[in-house]
């Protein structure tokens, strides 16, 4: 079978790991795999040459309308008979996507085994209607198939097929490569889909758990990528990297001996003990990212379900810095009811902790999450999934008291924190944010500055100069 994957609309130069895992699984099963950028021009050039049997999309909420529009055009203009399949977070949590024009099948949950199963049935001329994890629409009928168990041994999966991206090297950051060491998350944050994911499997009579790759399997992949593609640093995109002390001990030894490149990872406040930090430092960890989220302890524990105090946050951050590791933080602004003072307190906490790399996002009320549903029920937004933007950094969907100022604060969060709060300048900008032209000008200026920083990241000497400048404090 010939399967053509449509690449993400936005990846900020990072490899789309989910799609590359699917491509690796399909290729190992003997199928012909190609990729194409998400544009009409690229599809018009590739589809007649490749003549795919399947057109595949991995879709996140916020970009789903763009994919649907592109797919309708491709089906109507280029390949009416091609099977259009959609997987990823959006169809998993919003399976009504199957009713959209041009959508032939959607995959819920993990996709590697499900995709290989579907392609095998199609190749053998079997009816795809009974493929687990898939909802399939054929001849006016819809088959809703049950979920299959998750892949228990992650070492059984092929490595992501990064060769799929070779024609698009100019769009990929070749200095930074991304990897995952595990799947699943043991925590239950109210704004995250993990609880909805677990509930979906529970209702199917299945269980979900955190699964770890073996250290040997992970390090072997990193070695292969460095040999075949090159890199200077690594980002581990696990929700939380340290799930097992025994695993971390072996990882620190093997990574230091066989890889030795600086890397970034995520930790929970509860995991920042001296043993874990010492092992990460030994391995070569350069940046640890921790979720502070908000300064108000009651909001953090009761609303977000992240149950730790500011004293625990401060202790964790201090231990990270004691080990000579750069501290990155995640923060959420614009939580209902949207008081600017609360978000300024969050900024002040980051300043007090002397965070090296503070980041902030604007809360997005994803339907299906506990906090998203709470925001809808309390009247902060209408609950329209199609209104959700592609990212969670810039603008808020909610009806908030200080919405305009919060959006500008988010844009200025990093530089304000690095300048110790920058109170006079920040106060002026927040005052101007009440006026729409000034607000849009400030947001545009911040986007341009962020883009400049991204471009600097593609040039290692320049990035190092910028890093040294930003960390002077």
pLDDT of residue 168: 83
Average pLDDT estimate for 445-460: 56
pTM, two decimals, is: 0.91
pLDDT digits (tens, 9 = 90+) for 254-303: 999 999 999 999 999 998 999 999 999 999 999 999 999 999 999 999 99
Whether 388 shows a pLDDT value over 50: the answer reads yes
Q: Please tell me the least confidently modeled range out of 22-26, 210-214, 375-379, 434-438.
A: 434-438
58 pLDDT exceeds 60? yes
CATH topology of domain 2-144: Rossmann fold (3.40.50)
CA 87, CA 106: separation in Å to the nearest integer?
6
List phi, psi (to 5°) of 192. -105, 160
What residue spans define the domains of the chain?
2-144, 175-470
138: which strand partners? Answer: 141
**pLDDT value at 251 more than 90:** yes
Query: Residue 129: what pLDDT?
Result: 84
Mean pLDDT, the chain, integer: 89
CA distance 470 to 416: 11
* Mean pLDDT of all residues in 457-470: 41
- 210 compared with 316, residue with greater pLDDT: 316
Q: CB neighbours (10 Å) of residue 155?
A: 13
Which of the four pLDDT bands, split at 50, 70 and 90, describes residue 395?
confident
User: What average pLDDT does the segment 157-162 reach?
Assistant: 96
Distance CA 251, CA 218 (A): 9
Q: Which residue has the tokens 């640890």?
A: 288
How would you classify the pairing of strands 54-58 and 2-6?
Answer: parallel
Share of the chain above pLDDT 90, in %: 64
**pLDDT for 244 beyond 70:** yes
Buried b (16+ CB within 10 A) or exposed e, 348-370: bbbbebebbbbbbbbbbbbbbbb
pLDDT of residue 436: 81
Least confident of 361-365, 375-379, 393-397: 393-397
Q: Could you tell me the end-to-end alpha-carbon distance of the chain, in angstroms, rounded to an integer?
A: 57
Query: Average pLDDT in the 309-317 region?
Result: 97
pLDDT exceeds cutoff 50 at 364: yes
pLDDT value of position 456? 46
pLDDT for the residue numbered 11: 62
> Which residue is it, tokens 């549903």?
373
Rounded average pLDDT over 164-193 = 86
pLDDT at position 446? 76
What is the average pLDDT across 10-14? 69
Residue 389, CA distances (Å) to 108, 392, 401 in order: 22, 7, 20
pLDDT at 79 over 70: yes
Retrieve residue 142's tokens: 């819809």
Cα separation of 467 and 20, whole Å? 30
Beta strands in 27-115 (DSSP E): 32-36, 54-58, 83-87, 105-107
Cβ atoms of residues 225 and 177 within 8 Å:
yes
State the sign of the Cα–Cα–Cα–Cα dihedral 284, 287, 291, 292: positive
Q: Is 386 helix (H, G, I), strand (E, B) or coil?
A: helix
CATH dotted code for 175-470: 3.80.30.20
Which of 138, 148, 40 minimizes the C-alpha distance to 98? 138
Average pLDDT (381-395) is 80
């Amino acid at each position: 079978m010939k399967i053509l994957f449509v690449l993400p609309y936005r990846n900020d130069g990072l490899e789309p790991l989910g799609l590359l895992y699917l491509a690796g699984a399909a290729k190992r099963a003997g199928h012909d795999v190609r990729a194409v950028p998400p544009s009409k021009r690229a599809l018009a050039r590739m589809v007649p040459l490749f003549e795919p049997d399947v057109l595949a999309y991995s879709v996140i909420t916020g970009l789903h309308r763009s994919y649907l529009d592109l797919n309708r055009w491709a089906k109507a203009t280029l390949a009416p008979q091609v099977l259009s399949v959609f997987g990823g977070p959006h169809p998993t949590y919003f399976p009504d996507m199957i009713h959209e024009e041009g959508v032939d099948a959607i995959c819920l949950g993990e996709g590697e085994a499900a995709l290989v199963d579907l392609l095998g049935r199609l190749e053998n001329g079997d009816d795809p209607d009974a493929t687990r994890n898939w909802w399939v629409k054929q001849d006016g009928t819809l088959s809703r198939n049950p979920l299959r168990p998750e892949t228990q041994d992650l070492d059984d999966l092929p490595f992501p097929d990064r060769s799929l991206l070779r024609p698009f090297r100019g769009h990929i950051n070749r200095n930074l490569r991304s990897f995952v060491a595990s799947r699943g998350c043991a925590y239950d944050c109210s704004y995250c889909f993990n609880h909805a994911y677990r509930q979906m499997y529970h209702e199917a009579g299945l269980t979900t758990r955190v699964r770890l790759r073996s250290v040997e399997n992970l390090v072997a992949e990193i070695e292969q990528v460095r040999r075949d593609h090159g890199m200077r640093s690594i980002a581990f995109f696990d929700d939380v990297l340290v799930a097992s002390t025994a695993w971390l001990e072996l990882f620190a030894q093997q990574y230091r001996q066989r890889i030795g490149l600086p890397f970034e990872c995520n930790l929970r406040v509860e995991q920042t003990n001296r043993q874990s930090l010492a092992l990460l430092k030994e391995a070569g960890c350069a940046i640890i990212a921790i979720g502070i989220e908000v300064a108000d302890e009651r909001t953090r524990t009761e609303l977000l379900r992240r149950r730790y105090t500011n004293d625990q946050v401060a202790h964790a951050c201090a231990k990270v810095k004691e080990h000579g590791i750069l501290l990155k933080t995640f923060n959420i602004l614009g939580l209902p009811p949207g008081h600017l003072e609360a978000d300024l307190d969050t900024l002040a906490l980051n300043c007090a902790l002397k965070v090296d790399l503070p980041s902030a996002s604007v809360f997005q009320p994803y339907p299906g999450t506990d906090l998203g549903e709470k925001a809808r029920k309390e009247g902060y937004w209408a609950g329209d999934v199609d209104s959700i933007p592609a990212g969670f950094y810039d603008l808020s969907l909610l009806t908030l008291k200080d919405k305009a100022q919060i959006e500008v604060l988010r844009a200025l969060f990093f530089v304000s924190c690095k300048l110790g709060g920058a109170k006079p300048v920040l106060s002026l900008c927040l005052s101007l944010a009440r006026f729409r032209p000034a607000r849009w000008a400030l947001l545009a200026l911040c986007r341009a500055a962020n883009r400049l920083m991204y471009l600097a990241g593609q040039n290692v000497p320049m990035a190092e100069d910028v890093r040294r400048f930003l960390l002077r404090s």
